[in-house]
Amino acid sequence: MGIGAKILLVICLMVFCGSGYYLADYFLKAHQAQNGFSSLKELGIGGSEEDSKHLADLDALRQENGDLIGWLQVKDTKIDYPVMQTKDDPEFYLHRDFHRDYSDAGTPFMDAASDIDLPTANWLIYGHHMRSGIMFHDLVKYGDKEFYDEHPTFLLETIKDDGPQVYQIIAACYSEVYPDDADVFKYYQYAGIESEEDFNIYVDNVKAMSAYETGETAVYGDQLVTLSTCAYHTDDGRFFVVGKRVGPYQ
């Protein structure tokens, strides 16, 4: 083997080792982040029949972090997380964990324009699409109607609720972040719906965009929740599902 070939081999080995270290570190951090959220969920839960009616002990968690506004769960997925909101710094939890420490995975958070107190008619919640499988990675499974047929609902319990609320999914959509001057429907601009007109525009458009027909829709007066994450079908791609509240979880 010539000197040039040996040098190339050494370089390749260095790149391989470096990549292996990066991947190992990435998945280790993802595992640690997931374990952290699992520990939060267990806080105060399981001690009584009343405890078991809740997704998590939101009162106890709010004593640790007052930015908490709820807990989200999608059955048979890893989506089982707190939901945060910081209106004065909307993307604070984009790369921070529940304890406000830096984290690649971040923590699901609600758009600053959404308001559980008013309430606004659509609550928009963001989460990362992590290749490790955590956060909102599993949300894109709703691109497959078979998955939807088996999981037509998700659960959200806010600090205003007396237990988890069931949300029936009405649409599952691929989209993207468009230029500001693009004359197209931008779902992410409807996080603070307050009027019947805007509500109807939103529902009509997401129904038209849906990857398949769910057989479900919504009418003004329904509470909507939109779950949004990145997708890779196009540059700045997004995938989102829209659910309407249908009642408490039994």
Cα 29 from Cα 243, distance rounded (Å): 31
pLDDT at 43: 62
Cα 115 from Cα 49, distance rounded (Å): 30
pLDDT at 1: 57
Cα 108 from Cα 106, distance rounded (Å): 7
pLDDT in tens, 202-223: 999 999 999 999 999 999 999 9
Q: Which residues pair with 245 in a beta bridge?
A: 167
pTM score of the predicted model = 0.86
Domains of the chain, first to last:
51-248 (2.40.260.10)
Rounded to the nearest integer, the mean pLDDT of the chain is 88
For β-strands 122-126 and 109-110, DSSP reports them as antiparallel
Q: Which regions of the chain does DSSP assign to beta strands (E)?
A: 68-73, 80-84, 109-110, 122-126, 153-158, 165-176, 224-231, 237-248
